[in-house]
Amino acid sequence: MLLTPNAMSPRLRWGLYSVTGLIALFLLLPIVFIVLLSFGSSQWLVFPPPGWTLKWYQQFFNNPEWMAAAFASLKVAVLTTIFAVALGLPTAFALVRGRFPGRDMLYGIFTLPMIVPLVIIAVAVYALFLKLGYTGTLFSFVVSHVIVALPFTIISIINSLKLFDQSIEDAAVICGASRIQAVFKVTFPGIRPGMVAGALFAFLVSWDEVVLSVMMASPNLQTLPVKMWTTLRQDLTPVIAVASTLLIALSVLVMFIAATLRRRNEARMPS
Amino acid sequence: MSAVIKDVAQQPQTLVCLRNLNKHYGDFAAVDNISLDIQDGEFLTFLGSSGSGKSTTLSMLAGFETPSSGEILVSGKSLVNVPPHKRDIGMVFQRYSLFPHLSVRDNIAFPLAIRKLAAAERNKRVDAMLKLVQLDQFAHRRPSQLSGGQQQRVAIARALVYEPRILLMDEPLGALDKKLREDLQDELRQLHRRLGITIVYVTHDQEEAMRLSQRIAIFSHGKIVGLGSGYDLYQNPPNAFVASFLGNSNFLRLKAQGNAVATFEGQLLSIRLTAGLQTGQDTLLMIRPEKAQALSVEQAAAQPLQTGWNEVSAKVGEVLFLGESQTCAVLTQGGTAMTVKALSAAGMPLKTGEQVRVRWATADACVYTQWAESDLNKAAGAH
Ligand SMILES: Nc1ncnc2c1ncn2[C@@H]1O[C@H](COP(=O)(O)OP(=O)(O)OP(=O)(O)O)[C@@H](O)[C@H]1O
Ligand SMILES: [Mg+2]
């Protein structure tokens, strides 16, 4: 309470503002840097750029390998989103509504991938798929991404489901809707913010996932981050800056959509 | 009031039958062997303190809870294996439970849409409902744009629009303030009279129960311990628990001396003729504060005791003025506390420390032979 901006001395206030500003700058700087470089004319990523050009974008969009990677990323992310929501929804219902022994443990298991270091999951999944001969397939990408995306999806659906008053669903049932109908017609619209957030989370997790993807990749199937990674090891071209910029742009767009939806939703349902 | 009850009694059409209904959670009996007949078209209220099993019983009627054992019959047919959405019962919940993403109109139309009613018929019925609950102008609003009272009216309209035979209401007015609650109580009573629907209502507000219902079922520890009109339950409580739960009461401990006489603190009193009383048996007398009179010694001397009345001597403790009425707390010679209540208009010119004579008519005092000490304690109603 004492630290509300108005109660502080001007000097302290400006001090805090500048620290906050510096931290924000520190976080933003690499992004700004890479975006500027993607438009810079220097082949060697000189900063500040000696001139401006769209040449690298042209190269990116004209290169079938980069386009294939971008398309693969999009495909994997969309499929991951679909499966994460399709699996996360019933799981969240079971974890919130279910009355069975071991429910809390199950919750722990489902959220484990958030805590376990990614490399460990990656190695485990890689070993499994290697044995099954699935590495380098779309299937292996989607499965491994769903594993790490699912906890985020489940948690955001669980949160909105816990907030949803179940007597609203009961009201639909007593009005004549079967339980399934009530869930689809009343509960899903009610928890839509959580479902949308969960879907966007899944998309973002998959979209910039690199550790698992590097292991799952094959010469004929790799996602954008993987392609960046492999290209980076061969030579440093501004096309990588372009790929980074596009990666960031889509992430920012998705986050912007999420924020807009949330704001609209709050405006519609106060309290 | 009693006229209405007689009408019902003349054509006792039982609509709902609860038979030895039980609901156990582990070892705990939330509903303990309840049997109850609900008449067609009656307004019945479940009244009881928190945790007494009212909502659980209602939930079993609605189908959200499955009885551990027992039967629920509607028009003679068992409901136990009918899922809630096929029971054709309407229900209004405490927290309104409107569909937040639908307009008022679509909320009310929901049960009809589910039943795939033709659009024309659907609109006609929804319009009629909107008019009935006086929300015509709000049809296009979202529930979040309505006041609590308006939201509850939407919930009532939504529960009535498909014309169920039974309407269940679980503390529907609990979240509203007093004034609005009384307005809605009046609307509800009129609605019931107009539609002739059977209403089972849950509340823990005695006044609300009295105001609304034709019959009240009093719940305690998962059992129905009293059933009847508010008038009968109040005037002639079937047991000491109901007596102390409803309104205020004075309890005097007597020893029976035959079937119509008992001693209280060594003094002989006449009591209602009660079959099976043994001489020397512990007996409990219950007198409502407003049925007792407190007279000063001079007043008592001027007004000889009528036949059929009793009198005990006491000392005034405290006199309270409550606006419409006045209460006077007294202590008998043997140390029994009593309260006497009179309308302010009648006047009770007593002062603390004065001697008084407390009088009551034998016919107005109820006699109990079996009770538990906790029955006499109002707070002991809950778990
Ligand atoms: N799912 C449950 N598991 C265990 N106990 C339960 C469950 N549901 C209800 N109970 C218990 O059953 C008893 C009766 O509950 P119920 O909700 O019927 O009470 P009520 O009379 O409606 O009370 P209130 O006036 O507070 O709503 C309570 O003691 C409650 O704790
Ligand atoms: Mg309740």
Set of chain B residues whose Cβ sits within 8 Å of the Cβ of A194? none
pLDDT, residue B379, reads 52
What is the residue-wise DSSP string for B54-80? HHHHHHHHHTSS--SEEEEEETTEE-T
- Tell me what percent of the residues of chain B surpass a pLDDT of 90: 75
ipTM: 0.82
Q: Does domain A64-268 have CATH number 1.10.3720.10?
A: yes
* Domain definitions of chain A by residue range: 1-53, 64-268
Min mean pLDDT across B83-92, B178-187, B193-202, B224-233 is at B178-187
Rounded to whole angstroms, the Cα distance separating B330 from A17 reads 71
Domains of chain B: 2-241 (3.40.50.300), 248-376 (2.40.50.100)
Q: Which of A27-31, A45-49, A175-179, B33-37 comes out lowest in average pLDDT?
A: A45-49
* Residue whose CA is at the smallest distance from ligand 1 atom 20: B51
Report residue A55 as tokens.
Answer: 């040449």
Q: Is B149 in the pocket of ligand 1 (CB under 6 A)?
A: no
3 state DSSP class of A165:
coil
Q: Residue B23 CA: which ligand 1 atom is closest? A: 12
Look at residue A2 in the predicted model and tell me its pLDDT: 53
HSE-CB for B238 with a 13 A CA cutoff = 11
3-state secondary structure of B296: strand
Ligand approaching nearest to the C-alpha of B169: 2
d(CA A48, CA B156): 69
- State pLDDT tens for residues A145-203: 999 999 999 999 999 999 999 999 999 999 999 999 999 999 999 999 899 999 999 99
In this prediction, residue B375 has a pLDDT band, given cuts at 50, 70 and 90, of: confident
| Least-confidence region, from A5-14, B25-34, B98-107, B139-148 | A5-14
State the ligand closest to the CA atom of B48: 1
Neighbours of B105 (CB within 10 A): 21
Range list of H helices, B219-294: 230-235, 240-245
Measured N-to-C along each axis, helices A64-97 and A55-62 cross at an angle, to the nearest 10 degrees, of 80
For B282, the enclosing helix (H) or strand (E) is strand B282-287
For ligand 1, atom 4: residue with the closest CA: B25
Give pLDDT, residue A267: 66
pLDDT above 90 for B63: yes
User: What are the distances in angstroms from CA A197 to CA A43, A81, A160, A165?
Assistant: 40, 11, 10, 19
Give the model's confidence band at A5: pLDDT under 50 very low, under 70 low, under 90 confident, else very high.
low
**Cα–Cα dist A55/A41, whole Å:** 8
Q: What is the mean pLDDT of residues B105-117?
A: 95
End-to-end CA distance of chain A: 24
Residue B59 CB less than 6 A away from ligand 1: no
C-alpha–C-alpha distance, residues A198 and A177, integer Å:
27
Residue B264 in contact with residue B341, Cβ under 8 Å?
A: no
At B383, is the pLDDT very low, low, confident or very high (cuts 50, 70, 90)? very low
